Structure 1
Amino acid sequence: MAKGNILIVDDNKNVLLALEMLLAPEYNKVSCISNPNLLLSELQSNSYHLVLLDMNFKAGVNTGNEGLYWLQRIKENHPDISVVLITAYGDVELAVKALKAGATDFVLKPWENQKLLATVKSAIELSLSKMEIEGLKQKEKDLIRSINREDKQIIGSSAAILDVLRTVDKVAQTNTNILITGENGTGKELIARRIHNMSVRSNEIMVTVDMGAVSETLFESELFGHVKGAFTDAHESRTGKFELANRGTLFLDEIANLPLNLQSKLLVALQNREVTRVGANQPNPIDIRLICATNKDMNQLVDNGEFREDLLYRINTIHIEVPPLRRRKDDIMPLAEHFLTKYSEKYGKPSLSITQQAKEKLTDYSWPGNIRELEHTIEKAVIMSESGKLKVHDFFSGSTVSHKADTNVVKLDEMEKKMITLAIEKNAGNIKAAANQLGITRQTLYNKMRKYGINQ
């Protein structure tokens, strides 16, 4: 028995009986009605893949207009259901009119059983295919909504962060390219996500690419895609990040890490608004909103000849600088309380609180790793806590407590090197665990280790 539910609508009960006897042994469900006025309510109440519809119901009327009327009503309310029209008065003009109106096929009375069975089979397969496609589209929409959901909040009411959010509110509804800068751990991706979710593209996906983790040899394949057989390991075609982000947002994180020889390829794709897959000849148009982020001084890189000035102009229509946590003193404790609630629930310790002295030390500390460091500090304190009160020593070692906010004490790169070294030591050389602790990818961590000459 083939998959499929069929509804037969004909005022001739002999026709209904003959069709039911022919089709019932072949399909899951075959229902019959003789009054077309019951048609829509029947379709609303039950699931069907095909309607076999007579074209004439009133005695002496052979124009086919009734069938065309009910065809139109079916397609308006149930566009995925196939409709095959049946009439004893066939002509080419009426058949063409019915097909233009959305009919799947057109058969004449008396019919040939095998031909009708073949027509029904094709019509049901078409309906099932449409429904499957519609289901996939709905799953895609649900997936995009899930991906775009704001699991992380932007917490804070300091003047510094409110100034950033005012800029975000102004530019989110536009399609302009945006460059987000700021130290590691300040929440640049979170700002990018907020821009996307407030934009007209919020129902589409935001695709994130860590440019520090993309190797030079796979750059074009990763961003532009490739066709099967384009190179040795191209066993199947692959869609690049640009095409995946089509109609949505492409977020290029750590854009400053893109080697100079690859910057021209990115520039061409942005200028032409099209990409060509590796191994293909035909370019594919792209419609993306571009957001880039970096912790580097881009103007300095341009002056040093390490970044193309024309590419910087292309990605930097609007510049948003995310302030470090040391410039957001008023936000430290709201963030700390947020993370405390999060990890207390996660690790089953709901009664934890922070002592006043610890709050003062948390606020006084300069947080060179910014929000990411604060979150990891709170998580560690929750895990290691032995009482309901979290004290200073639960958060800091003795040498860390006295670390005041002074941006001139240590250069940013030195801070980053120190954090990486410490993370690797704390995780006994486990690079994956260290990368997770730092909130970066393993490839990004390897790149930074090479940069700072850190041995595993």
Structure 2
Amino acid sequence: MQLKDATILITDDDPDVLTAVRLLLKPLVKEIVTEKNPENLPAILSRQQFDLVLLDMNFKSAINTGNEGFFWLNKIKATRPDLCVIMITAYGDIDLAVRSLKQGAADFVIKPWHNELLIETIKEAIKPKGKTTTTKPGSKDKGPQMIGDSEIIRDILYKLDKIAPTDANILVLGENGTGKDLIAKAIHNASLRSEKPFVKVDVGALTDSLFESELFGHKKGAFTDAREDRIGRFEAAQGGTLFLDEIGNISLQQQAKLLSVLQNRQVIRLGTNEPIPVDIRLICATNLPLSELANEHRFRKDLIYRINTMELMIPPLRYRGDDIELLARHFGKVYADKYMKPAPDFDNKAIEKLRQYSFPGNVRELQYTIERAVIMAEDSILQPKDLIFSPLETQAAAPVQTDFNLNSLEKNAILQVIEKHGGNITKAAKELGLTRTALYRRLSKYDL
């Protein structure tokens, strides 16, 4: 959508703000409506269609929530889930504004704003979202590619563009093989820390004895094999990004040590008592669903809040539609170059075979499938017989249903459909054959 075709509603209890925005946007947009009292929002939205709402975060209204913006944002999203909302906030409320992104806001602007920045923010919010690559700011070199044109990938890339330049801690969720490490590197490359180190640690593979030494470092003689001083991964990532993969697999004892470092922003090497300040941006990833992380017998809630300022859910490949073909052709070219073969084409039946397969191993499994096909194929046009899926993944993809309690079946069906649609309640309700209200009742019933 072009800015000149947009109808915009701005809600702010400051008449000066309303006047300023109206004068600024009136020559640029189709229509602008201003409203001082947020309690009139439901009535206004019921009688007129808008493309975007500018919503203040704090009003002098009867609703005493401390941050009324969240209340009215949720009200808007409950009735118009697809409506684009930009939050208006004072500088001191930036943390609240970042939280609003998690609750469905498209963006936020800070008072007082520059007119050009406000206009660009609105343009960005109303245009079709998405791009296929991320790049370092001010650099011509491309970072890691997240290939795809599906709606769910466009949404992820849009969020990535918003959160990458901040220092917010990010939790990346998704099944094995979905590309969580690729997302973490892309966030780093698009951040203000892109010229500093990116350090990855598979913390799920560290034993208790190695955990502190690997992350925090040690002095010579701190333990039997400590033959020299060594800095830990936190110090190695100084000024840059630390990516902790498989964070859901660390023990409660390890979680306590990690939490202490994140709270104090300093590490103490094994064998010393000297605290060393650290300045890092933290990205964590896990294949566990957030519901399992919320189990305090498994994971500390205070640590979840520390690592999860923002979260990104990476969808399984089976939910990405046409992206499967895009990725297959991409990997075909990559491995054709690697093995000095002509770039392959795909027979229509081969594409259909790829589309019909569930890919329990996700993008990683597709990558290996195409590599194998490029190596073994007799012809430059890949046929269905050239596409051989991993028997290990195929066997793992067929879990046996053991709980046939009707409530459990319904709860699991709701979770799967909501995940499939990336949290879009409207689409999930439609597929389940429910109204949005009925689905919300069930979400409340199962405490989802």
TM-score over 0.5 (shorter chain): yes
The amino acid that maps onto 2:205 is: A
Q: 1:313 aligns with which of 298, 305, 319?
A: 305
Structure 2 counterparts to residues 134-149 of structure 1, below 5 A: none
Deviation at 1:301, TM superposition (A): 3.5
Aligned equivalent of 1:369: 361
Counterpart secondary structure, 1:375: helix
Counterpart in 2 of 1:154?
146
Could you tell me whether the CA contact under 8 Å between 2:369 and 2:389 is conserved in 1? no
Residue in structure 1 matching 2:317, options 320, 325, 331: 325
Number of the residue aligned with 1:292: 284
Q: Does 1:343 align with 2:340?
A: no
Q: How does 1:23-34 map to 2 (within 5 A)?
A: none
Distance 1:200 1:177 in 2: 14
User: How far off is 1:215 after superposition?
Assistant: 1.4
**Which structure has the highest helix share of the two?**
1
Instruction: Give ranges in structure 1 of 5+ residues lacking alignment.
Output: 1-143, 412-456
| Matched residues, number | 264
**2:244 aligns to what SS in structure 1?**
strand
2:371 counterpart of 1:379: yes
Residues 5-20 of structure 1 mapped to structure 2, 5 A cutoff: none
Distance 1:261 1:351 in 2: 51
Pick from 232, 237, 243: which aligns with 1:240?
232
Q: Indicate the SS of the match to 1:396.
A: coil
- Say whether residues 1:207 and 2:199 are aligned partners: yes
Alignment of 1:56-67 (within 5 A): none
Percent identity, please: 53
1:324 shift after superposition = 0.7
For residues 331 and 352 of structure 1, do their structure 2 counterparts lie closer, same or farther at Cα, with a shift above 3 Å needed? same
1:150 deviates by: 5.5
Of 234, 247, 255, which aligns to 1:255?
247
- Deviation at 1:303? 2.1
Aligned counterparts of 1:198 and 1:349: Cα–Cα separation in 2: 34
**How big is each residue's C-alpha offset from its partner over 1:420-454, in whole Å with a ceiling of 9 and x where there is no partner?**
xxxxxxxxxxxxxxxxxxxxxxxxxxxxxxxxxxx
Q: Deviations over 1:160-187 (max 9, x none)?
A: 1111111111111110111000001110
Maintained 8 Å contact 2:328/2:367: yes
Q: Which shifted more, 272-281 or 300-309? A: 300-309
Tell me the equivalent position of 1:196: 188
Q: Deviations over 1:175-219 (max 9, x none)?
A: 011100000111011111111111110010110000122111111
Aligned counterparts, 1:38-53, within 5 A: none
Query: Does the CA contact (< 8 Å) of 1:298 and 1:307 recur in 2?
Result: no
* Secondary structure of residue in 1 paired with 2:199: strand
Q: C-alpha offsets along residues 380-408 of structure 1, whole Å, 9 cap, x if unaligned?
A: 111111122211111036999x99x9999
Q: Distance in 1 between matches of 2:400 and 2:150?
A: 23
Equivalent position of 1:106 in the other structure: none
**In the aligned structure 2, how far is the partner of 1:398 from the partner of 1:266?**
37
Aligned Cα RMSD in Å? 2.8
Q: Partners in 2 of 1:398 and 1:295 — Cα distance?
A: 20
| C-alpha displacement of 1:299 | 3.0
**346, 351, 357: which one pairs with 1:354?**
346
Contact 2:267/2:277 (8 A) holds in 1: yes
Pairing 1:123-142 to 2, within 5 Å after superposition = none
State TM-score, norm by structure 1. 0.54
**More off after superposition, 235-244 vs 291-300:** 291-300
Counterpart of 2:260 (choices 264, 268, 279) is 268
Q: State which of 215, 239, 244 in structure 2 corresponds to 1:223.
A: 215
The 3 A distance-change label for structure 1 pair 236 and 150 is farther
The answer to whether 1:277 aligns with 2:269 is: yes
In terms of Rg, which structure is larger? 1
- The SS at the match of 1:180 is strand
Q: What letter matches 2:339 in structure 1?
A: Y
Alignment partner, residue 178 of structure 1: 170
Gaps of 5+ in 2: 1-135, 404-448
Task: Give how far 1:365 is off.
Answer: 1.3
Q: Would you identify which runs of 4 or more consecutive aligned residues in structure 1 move more than 4 Å?
A: 397-400, 405-411
Letter of the 1:247 counterpart: G
> SS at the partner of 2:322?
helix
